[in-house]
């Protein structure tokens, strides 16, 4: 074989590599190489931003994350109080946990060296055990890179100016495709369940909707809410306020999804068929219920399922309380409750309509005839402003106005209306007035961002051409010689920070008097209770504080076997809190009557 001279000499050229810069680091003392700016190293968690939703733990396919309590971090509304602990022996540094973290609190750092002979020491809590990690953050998520679905599926609605032409429902509801897509945004963290006064099984029913199982969703929903279609339309949705996704995007439309699921069922018979409730044999106990508002209906429904004989006494001709007689029809059409009430009656609840306790039947009679009584009589009496001119013609209380309108009556408000207040009742009154053709202005003492009304309601009002004058304190109504209101006089206010750290207070500015012409004023600054139906012997025993009936955690009042709930006992005063009260009372009544049974 011939000698390959070239092939023998060529490799020797490698010798020229002597003296070349080596690939490796040769610095002494040894300084580790700095990782890239995007490096996926050991975790860091910003503990203040983290809400303990556990989404990081759910996505991790290595089961490297568990959620644990951490000293000094308390659970609160919207925060489970838990924080992720990472097993750095299991982690594969994929960073999926980072990309699904809805708050963006979790990140990976440039640190990658960790040596220990103790295997257990690889298990540590980012942020707690490496507080210095925030300076080493390298792989993090932004809104752009986040794997959360941040944008809500828009709800189809009537156009702003189209709306005020009638009382037609503004919100049109999701169709199937929209509902599935919206439900699919949910990460099932369950923080909402905690925030819901009734602790509805939100992730579970949303999951059912996302998976195309609407009937399952309805069953899950009815587990602890017998008025879900109502809630699906008008709930104050505390759940959405703390939705994990809301930290960077739009909260899941939990309310609209509940509405969607319940609207898929056409009538009460089908509802009964789908829920197929287990109704216990009659247990021989009778419960009397005063008021067919949300709290009374809830108590009745779940008591009836448990075999109690339930009778409701209701002053009005329809059930639903303030939701039926307060909430305007464009938010809550008149037939919205029919199916739900019919179903409640179908499982055995009796409702005596047009029966006012204290007039058509005495409280004493009910109290003595039933083994237990639940009272859900609401907060019907409006507060007045207590200023001069309030007695004038055209100065109307908003709840009364709404009651009349919902009852199909006519109220003459003219064409220039001022609404006073910043809550939902004020917005409702304003939007109803706009539908009656008036030019409407809302006067509110504080700033717009301080309004207790739902932001969607405020936006809705603005879209309908309603003006809001904020930081305005009414001081007097003026009238003409016939006693009809003509103008409202108010003072401008400045916001003064509260020394005790509370919310800023409006302080009237001297001499800033402003006068606006009006044809009517609607007062909406709150309501109070009316317990005049309680005869003296009971009145003494039922403790009332600041207008509300005092109850314990089982909704028991200070009078034996009397329970109460809803607005008349609960400061929060919304439908879902009333439902929660009714549900709790069921347990209280069951415990009281079935003791030892």
Partner 1 sequence: MREKATTLYIGPQHPGITGNMMVRLKVEGDTIVKAATEVGYLHRSFEKLIEKRNWLQSFTLLCRFCVPEPDPVEESYARAVEMIEGREVPERAKYIRVLVLELARIGSYLLWYGGQSGSLGLYTVGQWSVGDRNYILDLFEALTGARVYHMYIWPGGVRRDFPKGFEKKVIDTMDYLEKRLDDYDDLMFDNAIFKKRTKGVGIIDKEKAVEWGVVGPPLRGCGIRSDIRIDDPYEIYDKLDFIVPVEEGGDIWTRALVRRQEIRQSIRIIRQVIDNIPGGEYYNKVPNPQKWALPKGDAYARTEAVRGEVGMYLSSDGSINPRRAHFKGAAYVHAITLLEHLLVGENLADVAAIMNSLGTCPPEIER
Ligand X SMILES: Cc1cc2nc3c(=O)[nH]c(=O)nc-3n(C[C@H](O)[C@H](O)[C@H](O)COP(=O)(O)OP(=O)(O)OC[C@H]3O[C@@H](n4cnc5c(N)ncnc54)[C@H](O)[C@@H]3O)c2cc1C
State yes or no: residue 485 binds ligand X (CB under 6 A). Answer: no
Report the alpha-carbon distance of residue 440 to residue 422 in Å, rounded.
Answer: 14
By CB under 8 A, name the one of 184, 193, 213, 487 that touches partner 1: 184
State yes or no: residue 7 binds partner 1 (CB under 8 A). Answer: yes
State yes or no: residue 187 binds partner 1 (CB under 8 A). Answer: yes
Q: For residues 58 and 187, is the Cβ–Cβ distance under 8 A?
A: yes
> Rounded to 5 degrees, what angle do the CA atoms 543, 547, 548 make?
60
State yes or no: residue 425 binds ligand X (CB under 6 A). Answer: yes
Which tokens go with 162?
Answer: 């189209």
* Residue 164 or 292 with smaller CB distance to ligand X: 292
> From start to end of 304-379, where are the E strands?
309-313, 350-352, 372-375
* Residue 225 or 568 with smaller CB distance to ligand X: 568
3-class state of residue 114 by DSSP: coil
- Under 8 Å CB-to-CB from 227, ≥6 apart: which residues? 294, 297, 298, 323, 337, 340, 575, 579
Which stretch of DSSP H or E encloses residue 517? strand 514-517
The residue ranges that bind ligand SF4 (CB under 6 A) are 45, 50-56, 59-60, 62, 64-65, 84, 86, 91-97, 101-103, 105-106
Q: For residues 491 and 472, is the Cβ–Cβ distance under 8 A?
A: yes
* Residue 10 or 467 with smaller CB distance to partner 1: 10
Give the one entry of partner 1, ligand X, ligand SF4, none that residue 238 binds, where binding means its C-beta sits below a cut-off of 5 to 8 angstroms depending on kind: none
Give the one entry of ligand X, ligand SF4, partner 1, none that residue 322 binds, where binding means its C-beta sits below a cut-off of 5 to 8 angstroms depending on kind: ligand X
* Residue 148 or 295 with smaller CB distance to ligand SF4: 148
State yes or no: residue 323 binds ligand X (CB under 6 A). Answer: yes
* Residue 59 or 73 with smaller CB distance to partner 1: 59
Q: For residues 254 and 239, is the Cβ–Cβ distance under 8 A?
A: yes
The count of other CB atoms within 10 Å of the CB of residue 228 is 24
Give the one entry of ligand SF4, partner 1, ligand X, none that residue 52 binds, where binding means its C-beta sits below a cut-off of 5 to 8 angstroms depending on kind: ligand SF4
Report the alpha-carbon distance of residue 224 to residue 239 in Å, rounded.
Answer: 15
The count of other CB atoms within 10 Å of the CB of residue 400 is 15
Minimum CB distance to ligand SF4, residue 146 (Å): 11
Report the alpha-carbon distance of residue 136 to residue 171 in Å, rounded.
Answer: 48
State yes or no: residue 294 binds ligand X (CB under 6 A). Answer: yes
Give the one entry of partner 1, ligand SF4, ligand X, none that residue 295 binds, where binding means its C-beta sits below a cut-off of 5 to 8 angstroms depending on kind: ligand X
Closest by CA position to 205, among listed 197, 193, 194, 301:
193
By CB under 6 A, name the one of 296, 460, 506, 526 that touches ligand X: 296
Would you give the end-to-end CA distance of the chain in angstroms?
106
* Residue 147 or 508 with smaller CB distance to ligand SF4: 147
Minimum CB distance to ligand X, residue 73 (Å): 31
State yes or no: residue 104 binds partner 1 (CB under 8 A). Answer: no
* Residue 49 or 273 with smaller CB distance to ligand SF4: 49
Options 137-145, 267-275, 418-426, 518-526: segment touching partner 1 (CB under 8 A): 137-145
* Residue 155 or 246 with smaller CB distance to ligand SF4: 246
* Residue 61 or 449 with smaller CB distance to partner 1: 61
By CB under 8 A, name the one of 83, 185, 219, 247 that touches partner 1: 185
Residue matched to tokens 């006519």: 410
What strands, in cross-sheet order, belong to the sheet with 520-523? 395-397, 520-523, 416-420, 439-443, 467-469
> Rounded to 5 degrees, what angle do the CA atoms 201, 583, 233 make?
60
Residue matched to tokens 């495709």: 177
List residues binding partner 1 (CB under 8 A): 4, 6-8, 10-11, 13-14, 17, 23-24, 35-40, 58-59, 61-62, 92-96, 99-100, 108, 138-139, 145, 147-149, 181, 183-188, 207, 210-211
**Interface residue list for ligand X (CB under 6 A):** 234-236, 290-296, 313-316, 321-323, 326-327, 356-358, 376-378, 399, 402, 424-425, 428, 533, 566-568, 573-576, 578
């Amino acid at each position: 074989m011939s000698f390959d001279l070239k092939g023998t000499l060529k490799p020797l050229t490698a010798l020229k590599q002597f003296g070349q810069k080596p690939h490796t680091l040769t610095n002494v003392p040894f300084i580790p190489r700095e990782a890239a700016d995007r490096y996926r190293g050991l975790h860091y968690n910003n503990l203040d931003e983290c809400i303990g939703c556990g989404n990081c733990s759910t996505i991790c396919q290595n089961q490297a994350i568990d959620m644990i309590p951490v000293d000094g971090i308390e659970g609160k509304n919207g925060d489970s109080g838990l924080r992720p602990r990472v097993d750095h022996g299991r982690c594969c540094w994929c960073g999926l946990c980072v990309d699904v973290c809805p708050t963006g609190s979790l990140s990976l750092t440039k640190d990658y060296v960790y040596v220990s002979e103790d295997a257990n020491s690889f298990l540590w809590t980012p942020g707690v055990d490496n507080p210095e990690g925030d300076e080493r953050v390298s792989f993090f998520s932004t809104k752009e890179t986040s794997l959360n679905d941040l944008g809500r599926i828009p709800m189809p609605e009537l156009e702003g100016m189209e709306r005020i032409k009638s009382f037609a429902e503004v919100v049109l509801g999701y169709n199937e495709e929209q509902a599935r897509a919206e439900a699919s945004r949910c990460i099932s963290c369950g923080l909402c369940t905690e925030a819901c006064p009734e602790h509805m099984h939100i992730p579970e029913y949303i999951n059912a909707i996302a998976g195309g199982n609407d009937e399952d969703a309805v069953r899950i929903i009815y587990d602890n809410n017998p008025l879900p279609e109502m809630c699906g339309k008008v709930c104050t949705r505390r759940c959405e306020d703390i939705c994990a996704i809301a930290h960077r995007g739009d909260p899941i439309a939990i309310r609209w999804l509940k509405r969607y699921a319940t609207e898929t069922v056409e009538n009460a018979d089908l509802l009964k068929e789908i829920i197929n409730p287990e109704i216990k044999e009659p247990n021989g106990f009778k419960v009397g219920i005063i008021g067919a508002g949300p709290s009374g209906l809830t108590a009745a429904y779940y008591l009836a399922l448990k075999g109690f004989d339930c009778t409701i006494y209701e002053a009005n001709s329809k059930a639903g309380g303030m939701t039926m007689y307060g909430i305007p029809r464009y938010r809550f059409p008149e037939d919205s409750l029919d199916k739900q009430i019919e179903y409640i009656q179908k499982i055995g609840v009796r409702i005596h309509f047009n029966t006012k306790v204290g007039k058509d039947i005495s409280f004493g009679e009910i109290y003595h005839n039933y083994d237990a009584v639940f009272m859900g009589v609401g907060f019907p009496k409006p507060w007045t402003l207590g200023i001069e001119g309030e007695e004038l013609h055209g100065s109307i209380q908003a709840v009364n106005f709404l009651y009349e309108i919902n009852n199909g009556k006519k109220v003459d408000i003219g064409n220039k209306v001022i609404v006073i207040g910043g809550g939902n009742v004020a917005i409702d009154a304003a939007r109803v007035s706009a539908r009656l053709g008036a030019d409407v202005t809302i006067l509110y003492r504080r700033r717009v961002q301080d309004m207790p009304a739902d932001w969607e309601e405020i936006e809705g009002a603005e879209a309908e051409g309603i003006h809001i004058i904020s930081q305005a304190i009414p001081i007097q109504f003026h009238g003409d010689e016939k006693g009809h209101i003509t103008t409202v006089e108010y003072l401008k206010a400045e916001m003064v920070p509260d020394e005790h750290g509370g919310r800023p207070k409006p302080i009237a500015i001297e001499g800033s008097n402003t006068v606006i012409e009006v044809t009517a004023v609607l007062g909406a600054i709150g309501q109070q209770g009316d317990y005049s139906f309680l005869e003296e012997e009971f009145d003494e025993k039922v403790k009332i504080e600041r207008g509300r009936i005092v109850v314990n955690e089982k909704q028991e009042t200070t009078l034996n076997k009397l329970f109460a709930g809803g607005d008349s006992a609960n400061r929060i005063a919304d439908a879902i809190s009333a439902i929660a009260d009714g549900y709790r009372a069921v347990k209280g009544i069951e415990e009281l009557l079935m003791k030892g049974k």
